[in-house]
Structure 1
């Protein structure tokens, strides 16, 4: 009798073991493969990623990447990221479709006038975790040599704003006509550029509508029109984009360094939009250009804002 009971118990144990093995194999077959991304961070949106080197995107959010200088080129490593440059220093991107949460989509490289920055782009399933605006910080950019850009536009703007707020040092360059007085406040040299600061004062009750501002290198004496030679120059940067003023107007324009003979004069022409004949000329002698002051870079720290924000 004991032998029969032991035999039955053995069969039950073997059967249970076989069933357990079958259940284990079935569970293995039902387990789906999961991809684990091993980047490290404590961020709630994406554990394992340092957010200051990653841009998070979602199909319901347009991500705007803002660079402190003008953007020359944007490279996206995959067609899973779509976008375009919507302003001089702004590019907008989105994923082309829905993806896995925390999926590393690709990389984006933003190349500016003198710097470049590269980021990993990660998809997040939560729109609240996506970057709607990502501002590129200075410590995230790498500098490169660009022979076509001697000074980034953001740096020109910083100098121009500082000069705009400075006290006038010149008082011998002026012109008056039709109730408008034009004066040169300052001429500064910074690296390979001249910064010319000038003002217009309207003594009439009719506002002055600016049609265009032209800079010309022309002869002092134009005895014969056929012999006169005029060269038109294009400013590299202009601070004030206002098109009209009632009483006063001030602007800072930037020109590349230039030399010209004493027979020539650098002339700024401000023409009115209407057919009124009111055209203002500001003649600048070469001697005045040679006496341009070097600008104190320490004055940039006095600006009430950070030009790179």
Structure 2
């Protein structure tokens, strides 16, 4: 009985290890990508690329967009592999000239770059990373202190506000605008400006953020989910003309049937309140800090 139980436990442990262990990659098993001098190879990722590694100086590249890595053969090298002395690079058809590694948000993909001469009319100019080439990875989620969040917020404030803000609302000589949306790890930063075009200063009683139904029907109740910023750069409750602030939230999502509602409310006995709706598509267009 003990032998059977031990064998069962050993089999279960081996099975779980096989299911959870990341497969080791061997160079000979990597898929090949053909590349030719004078022709850029574009690697298209299904999600934003976090990191690209080119194993040799024979290859060079850049990222024209967050989802595309552009790779090409280096034109000239010196004997140390550095671009100092202009010396033409000579390759022979079929030579392996490096390993290309692309890391996305949830995967790593690696390829062998193989040289093909210009006479080969079938040289590939772009590839989409396929599921079979992806190895799953999971990055540890970052947790930032208020000091770090303040630094990121100050970096945003140093940027000039966009001439065309994402959203803008006017009411009773008040302007509220969403200058831009930024993202860092699992944090969303809202860059907002408030303008008072009257001669009366504005005393803020509350600034409320919530997720609400886009369309409210009489027969149903509006479902409102309140959002509370984890951090805000300025704690000012009073401004005369202009007031810019950064509000930081933990990453959130909401469907197209809902909107993010922002309400600026003045102290009691005043009717100078203003609200602004933000679609989720505005959040999806967030820039990285």
What TM-score, normalized by structure 2, do the two folds share?
Answer: 0.49
Structure in which a larger fraction of residues adopt helix: 1
